Amino acid sequence: MSAPDTWNPAQYRKFGAERARPFDDLLALVEPAPGGRAVDLGCGTGELTARLHRHLGAAATVGLDSSAAMLEKARPLEGDGLRFELGDIAAFAADAGYDVVLSNAALHWIPDHPALLARLRAALRPGGQLAVQVPANADHPSHALAFEVANEAPFAEALRAAGDALDEATPVLAPERYAERLDELGFADQHVRLQVYGHHLARSADVVEWTKGTTLTRYQRGLAPALFDQFVARYRARLLGAIGERAPYFYTFKRLLFAARLPAPA
């Protein structure tokens, strides 16, 4: 049985402007690829994929996402070489089929990043570009406490029964490890950086609304609705106990951005 789709476009878009800032920075690292083919892994509601398509001048761009609810919002953007597909980005594989492979805030859901990068490299043509942004905020209370609460009773038992082992808070590597792996995979040029994004929220409790749109969906998939409500309540209490009830609140969010290009064909 497939996991339920817990992504809520309205919840995700509550902080749409804040979530778009890292994408803007990532896109600035990608050179146009006129007439090329591109894929956006974890495209969500598609607005950023459409911007990627226009920036590249690509002949064909496909956005891939596992959430039917998110893709329903993306469908009206299709046309002029842009399309969207339902699929599991963890299973993505292509044999030298793309000029650009991009993923913005999605690959942190997938384990074993050294192996993942090898698969993404295999999807690129000679001279192709890889561009990735992943959250690296697992040590912030907003993320660390969600993982701690998930490992408490009664949530841990229910999540393990649903197939979530809860043995890894994040598969995201250190910045230098991405640089090393990109070099091992033969990328000729690379840019890797850790960046802190600061978000001015109306109050500290808004962090709960932020994580309900992203991080907490992992736990929502494995919990019955009433139990998930209990989870959120406990998480909220733990989080506000750690960061305080403040208005306004400055939410710091670390992200890793990297872009690399394969050598051009001889």
Asked if residue 177 and residue 72 are part of one domain, the reply reads yes
User: Around Cβ 66, how many Cβ atoms within 10 Å?
Assistant: 19
Q: What is the pLDDT of residues 182-230, one digit of tens each?
A: 999 999 999 999 999 999 999 999 999 999 999 999 899 899 999 999 9
Q: What is the pLDDT of residues 117-126, one digit of tens each?
A: 999 999 999 9
Asked if residue 54 and residue 176 are part of one domain, the reply reads yes
The DSSP result for 52-98, as a single string, is HHHHHT-SEEEEEES-HHHHHHHGGG-BTTEEEEE--GGG---SS-E
Determine the distance from the C-alpha atom of residue 176 to the mean position of all C-alpha atoms in its chain, rounded to a whole number. Answer: 20
User: Residue type for 253, please?
Assistant: F
Which DSSP category does 36 fall into? -
Asked if residue 95 and residue 25 are part of one domain, the reply reads yes
Asked if residue 71 and residue 46 are part of one domain, the reply reads yes
Residue 237 tokens, joined: 């209490």
| pLDDT (mean) for 91-112 | 94
Residue 201 belongs to what H/E stretch? Answer: strand 189-201
Location of structure tokens 């793309």:
98
Q: Domain with 114 in it: what CATH number?
A: 3.40.50.150
Asked if residue 193 and residue 92 are part of one domain, the reply reads yes
124-135 β-sheet, strand order = 82-86, 60-65, 37-41, 98-104, 124-135, 249-261, 189-201
User: Residue type for 106, please?
Assistant: A
Query: Which of 58, 203, 40 has its CA nearest to residue 132?
Result: 40
Asked if residue 63 and residue 159 are part of one domain, the reply reads no
Give dist(CA 213, CA 57) in Å, integer. Answer: 31
For residue 109, the enclosing domain spans 1-136+172-198+254-266
Q: Domain with 218 in it: what CATH number?
A: 1.10.150
Q: What is the pLDDT of residues 108-119, one digit of tens each?
A: 989 999 999 999
